[in-house]
Amino acid sequence: MTDINAFIDDKVKNNDVFLFMKGSPDFPQCGFSGQVVQILNYLGVDYSSANVLESDELREGIKAYTNWPTIPQLYVKGEFVGGADIVREMFQSGELQTHFQQAGLEVKQSA
């Protein structure tokens, strides 16, 4: 499990915004991942992602890494923000946009 933790740690710490999701941004393979992708795309935030469906080790590893049972998982500047429900609620309240701006990230649109 150490290799997968190193992989996750690298992605989280070396990308300003990183999304662990089911599928890809172009082809989300679950509704919750699709919602987070839509929000990030709407805000125009640059992000990278990893498809947890490509590896059981990654799918289980990310859950253990954050002690969070669900996917997708969004990270901003190395910090776990939350899953689909939290991201959606933060977006609707404007808190997500503020969070990105406070992290020094450009947001092209507001809610």
Distance, CA of 71 to CA of 21 (rounded, Å):
6
Was 20 annotated as part of a binding site?
Answer: no
Does the pTM surpass 0.85? The reply is yes
> Does domain 1-101 sit in CATH 3.40.30.10?
yes
Which own/partner contact pairs does 45-48 have at CB distance under 8 Å and 24+ positions apart? Answer: 45/17, 45/100, 45/105, 45/106, 45/107, 45/108, 46/16, 46/17, 46/105, 47/15, 47/16, 47/17, 47/18, 47/19, 48/11, 48/15, 48/17, 48/18, 48/19
Q: How is the chain split into domains, by residue range?
A: 1-101
How confident is the model over 43-84, as pLDDT tens digits? 999 999 999 999 999 999 999 999 999 999 999 999 999 999
